[in-house]
Amino acid sequence: MTENLAVSIVEPTIYDLSSPGRTGVTFPAPDVPKAELPQGLLRSDLPLPELGEVDVVRHYTNLSTFNYNVDNGLYPLGSCTMKYNPKINEDTARLPGFAFAHPLQPVETVQGNLVLMYQLQEWLKEISGFAAVTLQPAAGAHGELTGVLIMHAYHNSRGDIKRKKMLIPDSAHGTNPASSSMSGLEVVQIPSDGRGNLDLAALKAACDETVVGLMLTNPNTLGLFDEHLEEAIQIVHTCGGLVYGDGANLNALLGIIRPGDMGFDLMHFNLHKTFSTPHGGGGPGSGPVGVSEKLADFLPSPIIGIVEEGQDDRLPLYGFLSPAKSIGRIKSFNGHFGMFVRAYTYIAMHGAEGLREIAEYAVLNANYIKARLNGKYAIPYDRTCMHEFVVEGQWAAAPGVRALDIAKRLMDYEFHPPTNYFPLIVHEALMIEPTETENKATLDAFADALIKIAEEAKTQPELLKEAPHKTPFGRMDEVKAARDLVLCCWLPEVNE
């Protein structure tokens, strides 16, 4: 073994870097007489770190270099749609008219914002085939909660109060069952069949007058378009249930098919996946919800509409409308407006044809990698996939190797790994979604790396088991993190 000459690259914490007496910003002295402070209600100390501006900038710049990101390279996380985020979005979202508008300003002073939101609602309706859209939900899961509350409220409003069950496929994302139980519903799991479709017999058997509905991701989390989709929707509708679409995978459907046309009753969009708003290291997202005509009255309040029709030379006045049987407000203010500006910019630049190309090339890219991996990795449901597909990260000839090891080894080839261990119905799942913004050379390099790793798994498994080797950090002791629970670099004196 060679001597480790590298200096540790660990960056001190912001508290380690603190030195008493420094500050990164100063503010003007008060230009008004000082008022008496509320004695007895003042805090005794304020244990924040003390740094100069340059210290802060260097600290975060250093930290940023430890992150893999879309501008670095392919980020093939299945179900996450990590496409390139156009730079222009960042500029438009920061235009002063947008960035410096208070959410409670009179509507007359924010017509630009309201027109943008109105247009975005209209475009999302057109793209999805739904009758009405709310922009309020903050993320996909938040859209789901909104949707589940709407479904429940719809049944209750018809006096149909026995409905307490939500049907959810075994391949579903965890947010689907969690959203359902937050609304007090019981979750009934529906298995998948041998081709990765929903098992129709099991669905039929579960459908009765206690069913609120079905939450369906389509294409599903195996990247497959359900071959009996219309039948499945029919079965749920026949028992009086509604069908919710988890729109996480809408990228595959833009201009290809509209969920509303297929009979979905409602669906959430993920502006942070399909419409290119950046993921921000975990958020913010944005999860608008589209609904069919009969559910429009239940949308969260308010939605954006025309409150005074225009005339000749007068423009219409845009403002807020309250749906008649609204489930209520799901978030403060007007939703993630900054994300609306980015998504609007993106859709405006694509138009109908551009959107269809997104889906076409996303599907092309996924099928291309899948074709390249064929024979090297087991592909449990081997048919034309949509924008993503799932392989098994295990081989009989490499007994000790797991999907996790493949994921870590990919880092040595300078790729972010795919999603692993999801969906739960595939053993050692690796779920690959390249998105449309990757060129052939990148896809080839990625496929080559995976193929090489498949060989290494059999010849030099320890390379995988100990990977990654070339990243600044190695594998983590997750047990220590959970047992020691150090969640703060600084612990306050606690007043019990």
Partner 1 sequence: MNIPANLKYTKTDEWFDPSTGKAGLTDYAQSQLSDIVFVEIVVAVGDAVKSGKPIASVESVKAAAESYAPVTAKVAAINEGLADNPEILNSDPYGKGWMIEIEGADVSGLMDAGAYTKYCEERSH
Partner 2 sequence: MTFIPHAPKERDAMLKTIGVKSLEDLFKDIPEKHRFPNLHLPKALTEMEAAAELGELALGNENIRTDLVCFLGAGAYNHYIPAAVDHILRRSEFSTAYTPYQPEISQGTLQATFEYQSLIAALTGMEVSNASHYDGATAVAEAVNMAFAQFRGKRTKVVLSPAVNPQYRAVVRTYTQDMGLSIEGDDPSAKLAPDPQTLIPLINDNTALVILQYPDFFGRIYDFTALVEAAHSQGALVCIAANPIALGLLKTPGEMGADIVAGEGQPLGIPLSYGGPYLGFFATRKKYIHKMAGRLVGETVDNRSQRAYVLTLTAREQHIKRERATSNICSNQGLMALAAAIYLALLGPQGLRQVAELCYHKAHYAAEKIAEVPGYSPGFATPFFHEFTIHCPKPVAEINAHLLEHGFLGGYDLGQDYPGLKDQMLLAVTEMNTKEEIDALVDVLAEVAHD
Ligand X SMILES: Cc1ncc(COP(=O)(O)O)c(C=O)c1O
The residues of the shown chain that bind partner 1, judged by CB under 8 A, are 478-479, 482-483
145 sits near ligand X (criterion: CB under 6 A): no
Contacting partner 2 within 223-282 (CB under 8 A): 224-225, 227, 229-230, 255-258, 261-262, 272, 276, 278-282
Q: How far is the CB of 353 from partner 2 (least distance, A)?
A: 7
Contacting partner 2 within 146-165 (CB under 8 A): 149, 152-153
139 sits near partner 2 (criterion: CB under 8 A): yes
Q: Is the dihedral of CA 54, 57, 61, 64 positive or negative?
A: positive
DSSP E strands in 368-445: the ranges are: 389-392, 419-420, 429-432
From 1, 3, 184, 396, residue interacting with partner 2 (rule: CB under 8 A): 184
Partners of 432 in beta bridges: 77, 389
Contacting partner 2 within 461-490 (CB under 8 A): 466, 468, 471-478, 480-482, 484-490
DSSP string over 306-370? EEE--BTTBPPEEEEE--TT----SSSTTS-HHHHHHHHHHHHHHHHHHHHHHHHHHHHHHHHHH
141 sits near ligand X (criterion: CB under 6 A): yes
E strand or H helix at 448, and its extent?
helix 440-459
Q: How far is the CB of 61 from partner 1 (least distance, A)?
A: 32
Q: How far is the CB of 355 from ligand X (least distance, A)?
A: 20
Per-residue binding letters, 116-135, with ligand X (x by CB under 6 A)? --------------------
Per-residue binding letters, 356-385, with partner 2 (x by CB under 8 A)? xxx-xx-xxx-xx-xxx----------xx-
Scanning the structure block, which residue is given the tokens 């309201």? 114
DSSP tag of 170: T
Q: Judged by CB, which is closer to partner 1: 261, or 477?
A: 477
386 sits near ligand X (criterion: CB under 6 A): no
Can you tell me the distance from the alpha carbon of 160 to that of 337, in angstroms, rounded to the nearest whole number?
A: 36
181 contact choice in partner 1, partner 2, ligand X, none (CB below 5 to 8 Å, kind-dependent): partner 2
> Interface with partner 2 by CB under 8 A: which range of 96-104, 234-242, 290-298, 390-398?
96-104
Measure the CA dihedral 480/483/487/489, to 10°: -60
DSSP string over 186-244? EEEEE-B-TTSSB-HHHHHHH-STTEEEEEEESS-TTS---TTHHHHHHHHHHTT-EEE
E strand or H helix at 268, and its extent?
strand 266-268
Per-residue binding letters, 318-347, with partner 2 (x by CB under 8 A)? ---------xxxxxxxxxxxxx-x--xx-x
Scanning the structure block, which residue is given the tokens 């914002």? 113
> Interface with ligand X by CB under 6 A: which range of 65-73, 138-146, 148-156, 441-449?
138-146
The three-class DSSP label of residue 166 is: strand
E strand or H helix at 56, and its extent?
helix 53-64
10 sits near partner 2 (criterion: CB under 8 A): yes
E strand or H helix at 305, and its extent?
strand 303-308
Calculate ∠ Cα 177-130-183, nearest 5°.
25
The three-class DSSP label of residue 420 is: strand
Per-residue binding letters, 233-272, with ligand X (x by CB under 6 A)? -------------x-x---------------------x--
Q: Judged by CB, which is closer to partner 2: 204, or 356?
A: 356
336 sits near ligand X (criterion: CB under 6 A): no
Q: How far is the CB of 408 from ligand X (least distance, A)?
A: 21
Can you tell me the distance from the alpha carbon of 265 to that of 86, in angstroms, rounded to the nearest whole number?
A: 32
Q: How far is the CB of 396 from partner 2 (least distance, A)?
A: 27
Q: Return residues touching ligand X (CB under 6 A).
A: 79-80, 139-141, 173, 175, 217, 221, 246, 248, 270, 285, 287
